[in-house]
Structure 1
């Protein structure tokens, strides 16, 4: 035998005073969450600033040592070690800069100034800086970017976009070849970074552009990182009048396409 049941008609409705109290409580919760998010972003910006700034003079000193040693013994082990140290310091600075850019983007303080930028020059610089990482992973990077593509964008933001996309291709490319290509379509440039690695499932292709999300959801198998690279790529591209999209299938690699306006 079942026990007594209460019908919906017997449940007392929430009166105007109760509804007002609930709305006020929700507003307080939202305000508290916003304060917590603002405090977190401020902390993140402070940490990024403190991590990056001391490395600037260190990088300058390493650059001077590299120049001195390369003039005297360019093929020696010391020169090779200093070149590797320079690369590691540069990577550290870029990672701290990523944190700083994330905090600025989140708080609406990411101001980008557009100027004419030759795409091929920036691609060559980024690929050269990431070549040691690619070689260590067993991947070769091929570049097919016309010399006459001049974008209207911020050079540092473009560098950050390419750095994030190529780094992801190295991480998830399964030691396969990586291609950086570009072409012109109307008033835009289409920049493609492709790999032949693990790929991304259709259900995950929107999620990976959100903050703190990764293509590999399992932290035990995912490469190291903050999970903000693709989110920042999207924010930077959109801030410069462009966008980003991905085409991928599991096991067949991925191609990320960034569109940015061409300089008139």
Structure 2
């Protein structure tokens, strides 16, 4: 019976929420068990059995009941009184009661220690569980912060324009902080004020067409606080206008070095709410990412501005150089025509003409690059009679400078079809490839050929020149690059021709491939979509 009572109490005390009423009930039951056990011992006049029952009972309660030292001490006290009552009622001698008494005292003390040790273990386990739960909550919060900041970083670092970054900043701030609104105020030195340039959700209304601005002097205390701290949380607007009924404001500085270039503000929609520690950490990370993104955007803008100035300068200089070069070439051709081939001056005049054409080629390539970088190289498609276009292009390429040992073989079996393309770009492509072949071929030939396949128009320019190593075949299509980039290279050139060729071929919707090997020549193959070609009316008939 006593063991069953203990097991029932153990089941009842397994849940801590039952302890408030379960412990008093278990103590009451323990008192009842002690009294009945003592009464049974008096009736049977068997102190040894009664003592053994008390030892088993107190040890069992200490072992199985998770109620701690105090309830166990109370149980031991009740059991001691019951044993004393039993001993007095039986009128036993001191010698007869001494051994059971010593055994019970040891059992009672041991049971109290067991209960105390169990209580300590439970307390340590509970503290460990609470610490583990707190660590998990902290880890989950850190993971949530990291995921949110990673998202902010992906969205903002991908942008390189300042307005886009600021709009993205306000949007993601409102979303990740779950606040009512956010605004960004950027400092404009010419106004000596912070101007509202971006916002999300509720925005202060502008009284006129002028942008909303706050003079720097009006927010001097806030600026001083942001110089010392990353974030400043205020209950009042602190000089910035805000929607009516808005709550607490959290200000963060967007920095460029030590300078505060903008102030980013998050506003809670509920007046009584406060920003949590997690929200403050998110705000701090967002402002740091935004500062980095704005710095990158400024660098990109400055580089773009410098590139535009450079391109305009190079374009202007190239235009100015083209006129005197054409004059030089014109007079050189006139002198060359009037000078007999046997005259030693004929060689000098020819060298002047060759150098002038090379310089003119460099100027033309530079102008093309300028148009490409300025996005003024749009494709202008038109219907081009392929045979007439190819014949005229061959006549122009025949005048390109080349060594006497080099032949230019031009395909004259071109079908009379109409090709829808940009004739200027296609002419530049073929001319650059032919000129490239003539320049790098010391003896042999340069062959230009057109082929109409079922699905494509194929143009090939092959030479028997010096060839290109496999590892250099991608490099030659880069700007200002040649296969031989050393200062002592045998062949001149700017390294722009093939870059322009691949750029124009891609604009025309085609592809270009190169097959080459050292001392075996090179073959450039251009494939334009067959859909771009259509037969002329005469051939169709």
Same fold by TM-score, threshold 0.5 exceeded? yes
Q: CA deviation at 1:109?
A: 0.3
- Matches of residues 8-157 of structure 1 in structure 2 within 5 Å? 16=285, 17-56=287-326, 65=334, 84=350, 92-113=359-380, 114-117=382-385, 118-130=388-400, 132-135=401-404, 138-150=405-417, 151-157=419-425
The answer (yes or no) to whether the contact 1:116–1:263 under 8 Å persists in 2 is no
Measured at CA, do residues 215 and 124 of structure 1 come closer, stay the same or move farther in structure 2, by a change above 3 Å? same
Measured at CA, do residues 48 and 263 of structure 1 come closer, stay the same or move farther in structure 2, by a change above 3 Å? farther
Q: CA deviation at 1:256?
A: 0.5
Q: CA deviation at 1:103?
A: 0.8
Measured at CA, do residues 173 and 58 of structure 1 come closer, stay the same or move farther in structure 2, by a change above 3 Å? closer
Residue in 2 aligned with 1:230?
A: 498
The answer (yes or no) to whether the contact 2:414–2:451 under 8 Å persists in 1 is no
Structure 2 unaligned regions, length at least 5: 1-145, 147-280, 536-541
Measured at CA, do residues 201 and 53 of structure 1 come closer, stay the same or move farther in structure 2, by a change above 3 Å? same
Higher RCO structure, 1 or 2 (CA under 8 Å, sep 6+): 1
Comparing 100-109 with 240-249, greater Cα deviation is found at: 240-249
SS of corresponding position for 1:140: strand
The answer (yes or no) to whether the contact 1:244–1:257 under 8 Å persists in 2 is yes
Measured at CA, do residues 165 and 144 of structure 1 come closer, stay the same or move farther in structure 2, by a change above 3 Å? same
1:135-173 Cα offsets, whole Å, 9 max, x none, are 2xx322222342325433343333322221122112323
The answer (yes or no) to whether the contact 1:183–1:191 under 8 Å persists in 2 is yes
Residue in 2 aligned with 1:245?
A: 513
Q: CA deviation at 1:183?
A: 0.9
SS of corresponding position for 2:365: helix
Q: Structure 2-normalised TM-score?
A: 0.40
Q: CA RMSD in A?
A: 3.4
Comparing 98-107 with 51-60, greater Cα deviation is found at: 51-60
- Higher radius of gyration, 1 or 2: 2
The answer (yes or no) to whether the contact 1:120–1:146 under 8 Å persists in 2 is no
Measured at CA, do residues 18 and 120 of structure 1 come closer, stay the same or move farther in structure 2, by a change above 3 Å? closer
Q: CA deviation at 1:201?
A: 2.5
Q: Structure 1-normalised TM-score?
A: 0.75
Q: Which has the higher helix share?
A: 2
Measured at CA, do residues 176 and 249 of structure 1 come closer, stay the same or move farther in structure 2, by a change above 3 Å? same
